[in-house]
Amino acid sequence: MINKTKNRFLKYLPIIVIAVYFAGPIFIGEYLTYLITLMAIMAIVTQGLNVMIGYAGQFSFGQPGFMAFGAYIGAIVVSRMPWIPFPLTILIVALASALLGFIIGFPCLRLSGFYLAMATFGFSSAIFELINYLGPLTGGNEGMYAPAAAIGKWKLTSTDDVYYIAAITVVLVMIGVKHISKTRTGRAWNAIRDDEIAASSMGINLQREKLKVFAFGAVLAGVSGLFYSYLIRYIESSYFSAMGLSFFLIMVVGGTGRVFGPIYGSIFIIMLPQVFGGKFNQHMNLVYGIILVLFVLLAPNGFYGIWDKIRNKSSVNMNLRDKLFSWIKRERVK
């Protein structure tokens, strides 16, 4: 009976979280609204990473690069053509990011594990360098103003407005990923993650599915980059390059390969400095680093894994260490 209640609670937990999201700004004031918007943005980009790594086994350090790309494309396009309504901006950014995802994914097709991680890391660094280099377009090191979300003369400049856009998107993204995870594409991605030989002999086109997951991760990162630019209104490449670790942290803390993991992870990561009352703000990276190490060593499946353990249910072991370093094993076999 208790078990049943627990199950029911767990089932409705995401809905409760979502409800809180929507009722949010009315009660909590601007600063908390800002934090929650940030959570939503982080959850969207981390969901992309989660799908790439947790579902499809494709390691990517490219998310910060795609996020910066989305923010800058949005800012550059809209600052030149202010009449574009923001839903169209989102579409443009999504398409551009998907295209870039395909382009970056293509040379990465033959890579996996550690090598793939390195290649995508290189891509991110290249994007930041490119942004700094293209001064006339991007403002270079100085950064640039990002236009607010707007439809015609109706400008959505307040934090609350961005909050609603991001909150709706994060809900749609979670539902979409939940759906994919149980259908054809999600199964194909899982198959590639677990065993490429078996996957290909089941008729799964490895290259096409890898490109798809790359583009999907890129779209989520690009769109969340755009939302981030709406939120902070002034963008510099260094904002994005500093985020590299946080997405991994959020993913691991929440639970890799779990649909709602990125939400719980981003709540934890963003609320943690608030719990300390801002005393450790200078040292938060140290704290995050320690948390990441502890989770990877002691609870590799994050909050979801701990929760599964409490309920005495064996969780699907995502063992990141094995996956990232699978290339060592492969070398040994040769």
Partner 1 sequence: MKSPNNDNILTLDNLSISFGGIKAVDGLSLKVNENEIFSIIGPNGAGKTTVFNIISGFYKPDSGTVEFKGRNLVNHKPHEIARFGVGRTFQNLELFSRMTVLENLLIAKHLYVKTRFWEELLKTKNVKVEEARAEDEAYAILNYLGLEQYAHIPISEFPFPIQKRIELARALSLKPELLILDEPAGGLNMVETEELSTIIQRIRDDYNLTVLLVEHDMSMVMNISDRITVLQYGKEIADGKPEEIQNNPMVIEAYLGKGAMHA
| Binding residues for partner 1 (CB under 8 A) | 176, 179-180, 182-188, 190-191, 194-195, 197-206, 212, 316-317
* Cβ 56 to partner 1 shortest distance, Å: 13
* Cβ 53 to partner 1 shortest distance, Å: 15
Please give the Cα distance from 334 to 327 (Å, whole number).
11
* Cβ 13 to partner 1 shortest distance, Å: 21
* Cβ 206 to partner 1 shortest distance, Å: 7
- Looking at beta carbons only, is 53 or 162 nearer to partner 1? 53
- Looking at beta carbons only, is 14 or 140 nearer to partner 1? 14
- Looking at beta carbons only, is 161 or 209 nearer to partner 1? 209
- Looking at beta carbons only, is 199 or 270 nearer to partner 1? 199
* Cβ 318 to partner 1 shortest distance, Å: 9
The three-state DSSP-derived secondary structure of the chain is CHHHHHHHHHHHHHHHHHHHHHHHHHHHHHHHHHHHHHHHHHHHHHHHHHHHHHHCCCCCCCHHHHHHHHHHHHHHHHHHCCCCCHHHHHHHHHHHHHHHHHHHHHHHCCCCHHHHHHHHHHHHHHHHHHHHHCHHHHCHHHCEECCCEEECCEEECCHHHHHHHHHHHHHHHHHHHHHHHCCHHHHHHHHHHHCHHHHHHCCCCHHHHHHHHHHHHHHHHHHHHHHHHHHHCEECHHHHHCCHHHHHHHHHHHCCCCCCHHHHHHHHHHHHHHHCCCCCHHHHHHHHHHHHHHHHHHCCCHHHHHHHHHCCCCCCCCCHHHHHCHHHHHHHHC
* Cβ 195 to partner 1 shortest distance, Å: 6
- Looking at beta carbons only, is 160 or 196 nearer to partner 1? 196
* Cβ 273 to partner 1 shortest distance, Å: 34
- Looking at beta carbons only, is 158 or 317 nearer to partner 1? 317
- Looking at beta carbons only, is 197 or 298 nearer to partner 1? 197
